[in-house]
Each structure stands twice: as C-alpha cells, then as structure tokens.
C-alpha cells in the first residue's frame, strides 16, 4: 500500500522517553491498543509500564534497538500491529523505514517516504521551495562533493558564506567561511565531517547572516494536497545550533510578517502533499524583516507543546487522526490562539562544565504544580538517566496572558522545581530568566554562544 489512510487498531510506539509515553496515552484515549518497544536500558521506563504490551528489541545502543529497522518491523508483525508511531528522532525521518512499513502493510503515522526523501535533502527541498514560490536564502542550487565545483559556485554568492551538509542536522557538517582564501580548506573539513556523521559528504552553500532569528511554522497536512499553519515558534535561543528555549508566538514578528510566514508554509506543505505534523523552518532578519526558507522537519518537534497550549490542539492526537483520514477542519476548526508560551528543555547536563552529560539516578523529583505550568516528562524519583540517548529529561512549558507574565511565571516555576541526584540545565534557565537581553527579547541564534555564556563563565 502507498502509505494509505485506513483505520488501525494496534500501534507500535517506535520511540522512548516522554514522547513514547505521550503516544501510549494518546492511543489509550483513542481506544487503540499500544505496544511499547524498549532497549535493555529502558526496561523500567514509564512508556513500557503503561503500554498494553511491551517487548525488548535489543541492547542499549540505539543502533541495536531503537534504530533496528528490521527488528522493529518483525516485532510489529509478530504482535499484529497495523500502525507504527515514530515520534521524533530515531526513525521518524527515515524513508527506508517508511518503505518497510508500506511493504509490510503497516501504516506509518507520518509523511510518505517520498516526502521525507525530498524534504530531507536540502538541495531538493530548496528547489521545491522555489517551485512553490517560497523565498530561499541566496545560495547554490545544488550540493557539491567536489571542492573545485563548490568554489566555482560560491563566486555568485556574497561572503560570508555558510557551508551546510546536504544530509545534515544538529549543527554538524557546518562551517562559516569569511572570505575566499579559506574556502577550500573549510570545504574539505566540512565535507569530511558530513561524510563521517551522515555517510554523505555533499555540501550546500548559502549566504551567511550575522544576526538572525530562527522561526519555525507548525503545519498539518492531510497528504492529499491540503495543509494548514497553526502558529509559529521562535527557536532562537540555541547553543551550537541546538535549541534550548522555544517561544510562541514569535514576539518579534509583525502581524503582516506572521501572516506571510503562515501562508507561505501552508503553501509549501500543500505543494508537496505533506501528511501529518511537520515544521517549515526559516531564518528571519529583524533589520530587514525578510524571511528565508532553510529546511523542513518531516516529523513532530520536541517543542510542539508551546503550540498546543496556545491553540488547544493536541498535535500527537492530530497525527493519529490524520493517519486515519480525518479532516484538517475537524482537527483545527477555529484558527485562533491566546497568550504566550515558553518551553524550557531540562537536560541531564552540567551546563557550567560545557554542558557535559550527567547521567545517574534522580534521587529527588518534585516538579512545580501551579496554573499555567505543564511538565512533559517520563522520569520519576529513583529513575536512572542512562548515557546512551539524548540527555533531555523534561520539558517545562509555561503559558500566560503575555510574554512578561510568562517569564515571571517561569521564574516561580523554577524556584519550586526540585531535581536532585544529577546535574541539569535548570540553573542555566534560571540565569537566563535574570538576563536583561533575554527578558527584552534582544537576542539572536548566536547570542547564547557569543554573549550569554561568555558573560557567565
């Protein structure tokens, strides 16, 4: 079947942590049976304990468990699962895995394999954006593995330049090039890093902007040519291209820019007949108010809760419903939102020691309980944070009538948030909430690395 929409009854949750727990609860809410997979390191995890069935798919390393495509498909078939929910990370953007699902008559709750392939390749995604009249960053039309071909292509783009891995993400395979004298060396280094990290050494070239904001638009598509935008998020608080804090709406945008971003994003998603939840990513230049498409994430994002608390839309439930053929009008009938929301990622890291991972046992866990505060987490007192996976252990989501009130509520929430036994990024966020530049929204994507951490070392 070609990723067709059909009713399903039993869903395998191909993930771990809070998003897996969320999917288990969503399946239960919708009257579906759930099967949790887990590695040997996760046998006591909440998604395992709360699912209708659970099965170990391998040892702790993700390549042998959560990324073991054939083992997961075999598990789904052996337990009569007719759908698989991928969440984010792991296999959520793996087109080969979607192909396997389709070949075995299992519904992948997400976009078609072709959508993942097209939008996962940065050069292809750029061409599709241009085709759908979406503004793109000035750059090369193709990706290059040859240094000489790349150097020739760079002549038509003004310095500084940004070299980006075609198949990259998370800041790997990226280099800033200030002038032509260092281009060749930077390209070779960037290509080698990309090949080592992603198995693909092709590099795309684009204009580099000194101070920008990272804005993403949440979209839902029905897979049949209709798509809607249900809000944007400002994800500019980043360290080494990794997001730390996300806000919605993006307070820096004018109503006109916001409308243009939403319309542009919905147009692109509809143009590629996207199915499910995804985000269209842009850089935004506050000086010129210009925005440019950079990529599409063909999955739900870690930061999706800020959109949920603003709009009242359960985006995980929406993924399930769209996969079964639900109308977008039924999922989001009233396109409105209220207030301001902020998400703080709580990671098991010692932020004062260069954000070093800090696995261990959580000896005390007491999250805040107050109006306008939501915690998305799968940890508990006595839970062991293992070193094999992403270090995020919780998301603190704040909702209030305005950004200023949300910031005040966040400070109150952190004061009553007790986590002992491991180091976390809670202290980082509390310092952030005392910083005038952040409070006044006077930041950029490089601000944390170049200013905030420099001032707080």
Q: For residues 296 and 280, what is the distance between their CA atoms, to the nearest angstrom?
A: 5
Q: Which DSSP symbol is given to 178?
A: -
Q: Is 365 in a helix, a strand, or coil?
A: strand
Q: Is 132 helix (H, G, I), strand (E, B) or coil?
A: coil
Task: For the chain, state the CA radius of gyration.
Answer: 21
How far is residue 283's CA from residue 305's CA, in Å, rounded to a whole number?
21
Tens of pLDDT along the chain (457 residues)? Answer: 444 557 899 999 999 999 999 999 999 999 999 999 999 999 999 999 999 999 999 999 999 999 999 999 999 999 999 999 999 999 999 999 999 999 999 999 999 999 999 998 877 898 899 999 999 988 887 899 999 999 999 998 989 999 999 876 666 778 899 999 999 999 999 999 988 888 899 998 988 888 899 999 999 999 999 999 999 999 999 999 899 999 999 999 999 999 999 999 999 999 999 999 999 999 999 999 999 998 999 999 999 999 999 999 999 999 999 999 999 998 987 767 889 999 999 999 999 999 999 999 999 999 999 999 999 999 999 999 999 999 999 999 999 999 999 999 999 999 999 999 999 999 999 999 999 999 999 999 999 999 999 755 4
pTM (2 decimals)? 0.89
Residue among 166, 239, 299, 409 flagged as catalytic: 299
Q: DSSP E strands: which ranges in 61-103?
A: 83-85
Question: In terms of CATH architecture, what is 10-109?
Answer: 3-Layer(aba) Sandwich (3.40)
Q: Is 415 a catalytic site residue? A: no
Question: In CATH, which of 2.60.40.10, 3.30.1490.20, 3.30.390.50, 3.40.1390.20 is domain 138-207?
Answer: 3.30.1490.20
Given this model, what pLDDT does residue 335 score?
A: 67
Beta 174-177 vs 161-165: how paired, if at all? antiparallel
Q: Where are the alpha helices (DSSP H) in 30-146?
A: 46-50, 69-78, 95-103, 113-120, 122-131
Give the domain ranges of the chain. Answer: 10-109, 138-207, 213-456
Nearest to 307 by CA among 296, 295, 318, 297: 318
Nearest Cα to Cα of residue 331 among 350, 352, 307, 315: 315
Q: CA 169 to CA 174: how far, in whole Å? A: 9
**Are 397 and 309 a contacting pair, CB within 8 Å?**
yes
Give the pLDDT of residue 1.
41
- Tell me which fold the domain 213-456 belongs to: D-amino Acid Aminotransferase; Chain A, domain 1 (3.30.470)
């Amino acid at each position: 079947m070609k990723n067709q929409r059909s009713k399903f009854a039993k869903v395998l949750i191909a993930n771990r942590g809070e998003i897996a727990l969320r999917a288990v609860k969503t399946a239960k809410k919708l009257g579906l049976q759930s099967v949790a997979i887990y590695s040997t390191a996760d046998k006591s995890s909440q998604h395992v304990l709360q699912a209708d069935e659970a099965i170990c798919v391998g040892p702790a390393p993700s390549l042998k468990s959560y990324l073991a495509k054939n083992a997961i498909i075999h598990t789904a078939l052996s337990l009569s699962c007719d759908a698989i929910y991928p969440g984010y990370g792991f296999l959520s953007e793996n087109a080969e895995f979607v192909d396997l699902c389709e070949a075995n008559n299992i519904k992948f709750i997400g976009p078609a394999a072709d959508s993942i392939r097209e939008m996962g390749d940065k050069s292809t995604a750029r061409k599709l954006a241009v085709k759908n009249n979406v503004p793109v960053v000035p750059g090369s039309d193709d990706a290059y593995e040859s240094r000489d071909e790349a150097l020739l292509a760079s002549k038509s783009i003004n310095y500084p330049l940004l070299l980006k891995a075609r198949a990259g993400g998370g800041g790997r395979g990226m280099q800033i090039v200030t002038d032509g004298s260092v281009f060749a060396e930077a390209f070779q280094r960037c290509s080698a890093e990309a090949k080592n990290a992603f198995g693909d050494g092709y590099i795309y070239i684009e204009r580099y902007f000194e101070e920008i904001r990272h804005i993403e638009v949440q979209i839902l598509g029905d897979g049949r040519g209709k798509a809607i935008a249900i809000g944007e998020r400002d994800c500019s608080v980043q360290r080494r291209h990794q997001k730390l804090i996300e806000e919605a709406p993006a307070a820096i945008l004018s109503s006109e820019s916001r409308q243009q971003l939403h319309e542009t994003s919905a147009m692109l998603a509809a143009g590629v007949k996207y199915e499910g939840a995804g985000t269209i990513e842009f850089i935004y230049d506050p000086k010129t108010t210009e925005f440019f498409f950079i990529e599409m994430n063909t999955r739900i994002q870690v930061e999706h809760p800020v959109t949920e608390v603003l709009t009242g839309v359960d985006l995980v439930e929406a993924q399930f419903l769209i996969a079964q053929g639900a109308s977008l009008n039924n999922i989001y009938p009233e396109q409105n939102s209220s207030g301001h929301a902020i998400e703080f990622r709580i990671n098991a890291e010692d932020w004062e020691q260069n954000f070093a991972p800090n696995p261990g046992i959580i000896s005390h866990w007491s999250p805040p309980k107050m109006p306008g505060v939501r915690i998305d987490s799968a940890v508990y007192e006595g839970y062991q944070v293992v070193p094999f996976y992403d270090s995020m252990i919780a998301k603190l989501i704040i909702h209030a009538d305005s950004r200023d009130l949300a910031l005040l509520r966040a400070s109150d929430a952190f004061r009553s948030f007790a986590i002992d036994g491991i180091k976390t990024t809670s202290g980082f966020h509390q310092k952030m909430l005392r910083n005038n530049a952040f409070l006044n929204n006077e930041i950029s994507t490089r601000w944390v690395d170049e200013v905030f951490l420099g001032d707080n070392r």
